[in-house]
Amino acid sequence: MIQEQIAKLKSDKNFSLPAGLSIEAVEAQIKLFESGVKIPKLEKPCTVNDGIVKINPAEIDDLLNLHSLAASESRLMKFVPASGAASRMFQKLLLVLNDNQELNLTSILERSEKDKTYKSVYDVLINLNRFAFYDDLKDALEVDDTRINDLVSSQPEKILRAILFESGLNYSSKPKGAIKFHKYLNESRTAFEEQIYESFNYVVDKEKRVKIHFTISEEHESLFIEIIEQTKKRLKNDFRFDISYSFQKKSTDTIAVDENNNILFDKQNKIIARPAGHGALIENLTDLEADLVIIKNIDNLSTERLAEDTCTYKKLLTGYLIKLQNQIHVYIKLLESKNQENIDLNEIVDFCKEKLFILTPSGFDDFPRKERIAYLYKKLNRPVRVCGMVKNEGEPGGGPFWVKSEDGRLSLQIIEQAQINLNDEQQKNIFKGSTHFNPVDLVCGLRDYKGDNFDLHNFIDHQSGIITKKSKDGVQLKALELPGLWNGAMADWITIFVEVPISTFNPVKEINDLLRKEHQN
């Protein structure tokens, strides 16, 4: 069936592939729809001292010094996935507007007692002056404080429309990075700006240069550039900026199929393709050819006064990676040296097990010496990621697990709930038993012991991913998400999980999150 579909595509003169997508990629994706993506086999959750490291206070000064040296030598770059639109932040406001109810503050309050959506909108309205975009909202409405309070009471839909639509702030159509998150004495900062300000604390070299890369959507390019240029002008005498950006590549888009795995076409006879999720950003990360990269989501921020823990742990995670990486490189050089007979392989095996959580296969001690050396060399000569993990307090997201491969070997992986078989009670219970979750707080070492960049494509689990059911123009379809950036796209990296405090995790998923103390001054 797959070959028939591909042969038909190749012979159809009226057919053209979506931009950037190859016929080989289409064929591989159909095979995944046919066979299904790999379902991870969870062995157990990672816990402190069993897959999760707790930083020893005695190490802190050493780790901070390692970070400081790397930063001064311009080895560090920050990578911020920021292509997502802010529409989800304002979803409840949109729902209330579309509910065709006659709105005033009293009616919203009455509905809020039984309806959480209305409760959320009520909280927005009565706290308007606490949002960083409050002054912009008044300007858009051409009102003062007194008049805006009148509108809140009698015509709240005008307030909601001014927040959401083009006649006002147009926040429902802007990227999350362009939303004003935090209010200071003399300015209010968007998430884009706050990510830059935060970077001054841990990504500055000896020449006061700051390297940051954002991934954004093409439709928001001009807005992004405008915000960045204004920030540069405001701070031109303080820092040197190396701020770059890229788009998710069209070549990573995935096709849609019907329930029988037949390729779907639109009315112009073009294959229906869609962005394949954040896993596609492994391409953007590869293109950077960077050394040490700190990855952080666009909305995980706090105001400056509460960012001390965040900045300290960015430094500690970086230092921890460098310390491990330095030792890894020492061992790799030994393993490829001419004096291999003098190498204490047990020392390297212990390091792999105790520091890198790399376990040797059954009977490893009985392997011929050359096979043991080759195995250790392959396991050590890989990109490294140190991932911050916070204690699980009920937030949605993936978590750290010991995962068993088909050959029975265990490895550390970040797993999302959507990846596992929830019909398997044992797997479901293992997932629920996770003590920590992934706040997307990663430091990545992308270069090998010779200083060359790894080809990150070699470390992707191409059989992982997520298949979901969706609807487009009334047609039911199946869609494919590529292996996630911190899931399958980094599946074969050396992976270390380190516990970080919950104070470093301050996401903004919906508008009222901005009312939390972490986002207020």
pLDDT tens-digit readout, 164-179: 999 999 999 999 999 9
Nearest to 443 by CA among 202, 201, 193, 177: 202
Check residue 357 and give its pLDDT.
96
Q: Residue 288 pLDDT more than 90?
A: yes
Q: Give the DSSP H/E element, type plus range, for residue 381.
A: none
Instruction: Check pLDDT > 80 for residue 472.
Output: no
> And the tokens for 159?
């307030």
**The predicted structure's pLDDT at residue 190:** 98
d(CA 506, CA 141): 30
Distance of alpha carbon 62 from alpha carbon 57, whole angstroms: 10
Residue 227 has pLDDT above 80, yes or no: yes
CA distance 25 to 36: 16
Q: Report pLDDT for 19.
A: 72
Taking 80 as the threshold, does the pLDDT of residue 444 lie above it?
Answer: yes
Give yes or no for residue 499 having a pLDDT over 90.
Answer: yes
Using the Cα atoms of residue 375, residue 376, residue 377 and residue 379 in order, give the sign of their dihedral. Answer: positive
pLDDT for the residue numbered 235? 87
**Selected residue with higher pLDDT from 253 and 425:** 425
Q: How many CB atoms lie within 10 A of CB 371?
A: 11
d(CA 32, CA 468): 12
Cα atoms in the Cβ-side hemisphere of radius 13 Å centred on 379: 21
Share of the chain above pLDDT 90, in %: 71
User: Which residues does residue 468 pair with via DSSP β-bridges, in sequence order?
Assistant: 479
Compute CA 150 distance to the chain's CA centroid, rounded to the nearest angstrom: 41
Between residues 161 and 266, the one the model is more confident about: 161
User: pLDDT grade, residue 3 (50/70/90)?
Assistant: low
What's the pLDDT band for 486 if we cut at 50, 70, 90? confident
The pLDDT confidence band at residue 9, using thresholds 50, 70 and 90, is low
Spatial CB neighbours of 12, under 8 Å, sequence gap ≥ 6: none
Average pLDDT of the segment spanning 371-399: 91
pLDDT at 13: 62
Q: Of 110-114, 134-138, 396-400, which range is least confident?
A: 396-400
Burial 274-285 (b: 16+ CB within 10 A, else e): bbbbbbbbbbbb
Output the pLDDT for position 14: 64
Site of tokens 């078989």: 421
Please give the Cα distance from 252 to 277 (Å, whole number).
9
Summary mean pLDDT of the chain: 91
Whether residue 281 has pLDDT greater than 70: yes
Report the pLDDT value the prediction gives residue 29, as an integer from 0 to 100. 87
Say which range, 67-76, 148-157, 333-342, has the weakest mean pLDDT. Answer: 333-342
State which H helix or E strand residue 363 sits in.
none
Work out the burial of residue 242: count CB atoms within 10 Å of its CB; fewer than 13 is exposed, 13-18 middle, 19 or more buried.
middle
Residue 384, phi-psi category: left (phi > 0), alpha (psi -120 to 50), beta (remainder): beta
pLDDT at 274: 82
* Among 495, 506, 382, 484, CA closest to 46: 495
Which residues, other chains included, contact 43 with Cβ-Cβ below 8 Å and sequence gap of 6+? 401, 402, 403, 404, 410, 430
What are 115-157's pLDDT values in tens digits? 999 999 999 999 999 999 999 999 999 999 999 999 999 999 9
Label residue 252 by pLDDT band (50, 70, 90): confident
What per-residue confidence (pLDDT) applies to 477?
85
